[in-house]
Amino acid sequence: ATPMSIISGVGRAAEFGVLVRDADALQRASSLDTLVFDKTGTLTRGKPQVVAIKTANGFTEHQALRFAAALEQGSSHPLAHAILEKAGDEGLPTVQNFRTLRGLGVSGEAEGCNLLLGNQALLSQQQVTVRELEDEMASQAAQGATPVLLAVDGKVAALLAIRDPLREDSVSALQRLHRAGYRLVMLTGDNPTTAKAIAKEAGIDEVIAGVLPDGKADAIARLQREGRRVAMIGDGINDAPALARADVGIAMGGGSDVAIETAAITLMRHSLTGVADALAISKATLRNMK
């Protein structure tokens, strides 16, 4: 293995918009067998939209959307953007005691009501039953939408179905990686049903869903203990510990600074095609050296 050929490999990668931190990173990238992808913003466009609202317990769509949007004003989650966009920001009530519950949702008080907004885990943790909306929730999730639930004073008030389509080039890039022999895994905080529907559409082999932000690095470590050599591909602040834990962390271009600082490889473009390019170049470089 000559250092020169590695350096030329790093240079060649740069021509493809792939920034490799050092020679060691390129070497590790050449011997991976498992690729783990963050879902939101990596496989998907990361610009989710509200596609349906279903209410319960006498609430109107208008009331539900106002409360949901009021809460999401305090959140920077992609789901929050979707809800705020749908509601418009006119005349939203003021929220007191706002809290972010990582991996679960948000809570607060408005117009004298206690509000909760997030996934089923959040509502059941707070002993709110979702029976009235269970069927709708299952059917939205099976179609690949993320169900976000609103509870008002301990009663479920609405389900907002939010859809974040795959990036245009995700499927073809994943097919290329599959043909190259990698096992493809999705890692997400989203619920298993939604995650599986999207994984199927994307051609992903394995889904690890319902993972809290702190659990992403542990999920990578588990795969490593099974003997797999793992790359993590992500873009969010949440993804940084997993990017650091993986044999190779790959940050999507335009993602969070923390992700880029942590990753061994950074893609200049926000596209999975760069992942396939990066791994092909690493293999070709190391093959030439043998």
Q: For the chain, how many residues are written?
A: 290
According to CB under 5 A, which one of 9, 147, 236, 249 is a site residue for Mg ion?
A: 236
41 binds Mg ion (CB under 5 A): yes
User: Site map for Mg ion, 20-39, x if CB under 5 A?
Assistant: ------------------x-
- φ/ψ of residue 210, rounded to 5: 65, 25
Region binding ligand ADP by CB under 6 A among candidate stretches 103-111, 170-178, 225-233, 240-248: 103-111
Binders in 259-288 for ligand ADP, by CB under 6 A: none
By CB under 6 A, tell whether 77 contacts ligand ADP. Answer: yes
Rounded to a whole number of angstroms, the minimum distance from the CB of residue 154 to Mg ion is 31
Site for ligand ADP in 183-222 (CB under 6 A): 188-190, 213
Binning the chain into helix, strand and coil, the percentages to the nearest 5 are 45, 25, 30
> What's the rounded Cα separation, in Å, for the pair 266 and 234?
10
Q: Are strands 146-152 and 155-163 parallel, antiparallel or unpaired?
A: antiparallel
Please give the structure tokens belonging to residue 87.
Answer: 């509601």
Tell me the closest approach of the beta carbon of residue 270 to ligand ADP, in angstroms.
15
Tokens of 256: 């969070």
165 vs 213 by CB, closer to ligand ADP? 213
Give the end-to-end CA distance of the chain in Å, rounded to a whole number.
6
In this structure, is the dihedral angle defined by the CA atoms of residues 37, 43, 48 and 52, taken in order, positive or negative?
negative
* C-alpha–C-alpha distance, residues 1 and 27, integer Å: 10
- 164 in active site: no
Taking CB under 6 A as the rule, does residue 39 contact ligand ADP? yes
Q: Which residues contact 11 (CB under 8 A, 6 or more apart)?
A: none
Determine the size of the site formed for ligand ADP (CB under 6 A).
21
Give the residue numbers marked as catalytic.
38
> Which residues are near Mg ion by CB under 5 A?
38, 40-41, 236
> Which residues are near ligand ADP by CB under 6 A?
39-40, 72, 75, 77, 79-80, 103-106, 117-119, 146, 148, 188-190, 213, 238
